[in-house]
Amino acid sequence: MNAHEIDYRIFGEEMQYVEIELDPQEGVVAEAGTFMMMNDQITMNTIFGDGSNQEKGLLGKIFSAGKRILTGESLFMTVFTNSGHGKKQVSFASPYPGKIIPIDLTEFGGKFVCQKDAFLCAAKGVSIGIEFSKKLGRGLFGGEGFIMQKLEGDGLGFIHAGGTMAKKVLLPGEVLKVDTGCIVGFTKDVDYDIEFVGGIKNTIFGGEGLFFATLRGPGTVYIQSLPFSRLAGRVLAMAPRNGGSRGEGSVLGGLGDMLDGDNRF
């Protein structure tokens, strides 16, 4: 194997974290902001890109880091390496309520495609790159633009799904229609495209967007019930305006806010 062989345990229900167990000199690559805790004698090293092509010199490092800019991620990633003599643990936490999904790339032909903010961490040696959409409609209306992330190699990677996760194994030719924001990731053989919802009433009054994704098998698809964009939209919608209260606990609700002496017209 090119990637390090790591062991892991996942803890929690709604707000999970993954504990990675490292043998001496084993390492794990993580996204910035996911670190939770670690044992002594684990060293942190900030690097360009994902660390899978460090032997290629400065040009390789710059190219690897540049690819990450296109996905909206940081130029840098962090490698956590066990510099001690015994087994050590390092843990990474979910960014919001949901599930952490282990992805064994050897089971999926060495490649897995996921939305650009789903990745948490992976065994050192796994390549975290970009996946360009080859179809114009997918790029313009797919919710993730022309670019998604891809994990390549022969090691373990970990991604995060918001809310409850559904795993669907599609047969050859089987089609699954999904809200574009609810896709977490899929295997390399799945054909992914965008379809117009259709119908004037659906378009104007449906409230579900103009497009949904069609995923055609064979392959495995992971779906999330709570995309972060949906969660953020609900939080913003319920946020108090101008420092006032939304009055959810009162009988009058919004009318109570209008009658509140602190609100001025």
Query: How far is residue 156's CA from residue 73's CA, in Å, rounded to a whole number?
Result: 20
| Amino acid at position 40, single letter | D
- C-alpha to C-alpha distance for 227 and 224, rounded to whole angstroms: 6
Sites in the chain below the pLDDT cut of 70: 1, 49-75, 133-147, 197-210, 230-231, 233-234, 241-265
Residue 122: CA count within 13 A, CB half-sphere: 30
Residues paired with 42 in a beta bridge: 82
For residue 265, the model assigns a pLDDT of: 45
Strand partners, 187: 112
Are 105 and 187 in contact by the 8 Å Cβ rule? The answer is no
Which two structure tokens, joined as six digits, stand for 164? 């409850």
Tell me if 87 is assigned to some domain.
yes
Question: Is there a domain that residue 249 lies in?
Answer: no
Query: What is the per-residue pLDDT for 207?
Result: 47
Q: What is the pLDDT of residue 211?
A: 73
Phi/psi region, residue 104 (left: phi>0; alpha: psi -120 to 50; beta: rest), is beta
Would you say residue 62 lies in a domain? yes
Q: Provide the residue type at 152 as one letter.
A: E
Q: Is 25 exposed, middle or buried (0-12, 13-18, 19+ CB in 10 A)?
A: exposed
CA distance 247 to 183: 34
User: Does residue 259 lie in a domain region?
Assistant: no
| Helices of type H across the chain | 57-70, 136-141, 200-205, 228-238, 254-259
Please name which of 154, 131, 126 lies closest in space to residue 53, comparing C-alpha atoms.
126
What burial letters (b/e) apply to 164-178, b meaning 16+ CB within 10 Å? ebbebebeeeeebeb
Q: What is the CATH number of the domain that holds 26?
A: 3.60.160.10
CA 236 – CA 7 distance, rounded (Å): 39
Can you give the pTM of this predicted structure? 0.78
Q: What is the DSSP letter of 171?
A: P
**Residue 184 — φ and ψ, nearest 5°?**
-95, -50
Q: Is residue 34 part of a domain?
A: yes
CA quadruple 206, 209, 211, 213: dihedral sign: negative
Contact indicator for 32, 119 with CB cutoff of 8 Å: no
Q: What is the largest CA-CA distance in the chain?
A: 68
Parent domain of 57: 7-238
Q: Residue 95 region, left (φ>0) first, then alpha (ψ -120 to 50), else beta?
A: alpha
Q: How many domains does the chain have?
A: 1
What pLDDT score does 126 carry?
92
In a domain, 170, yes or no: yes
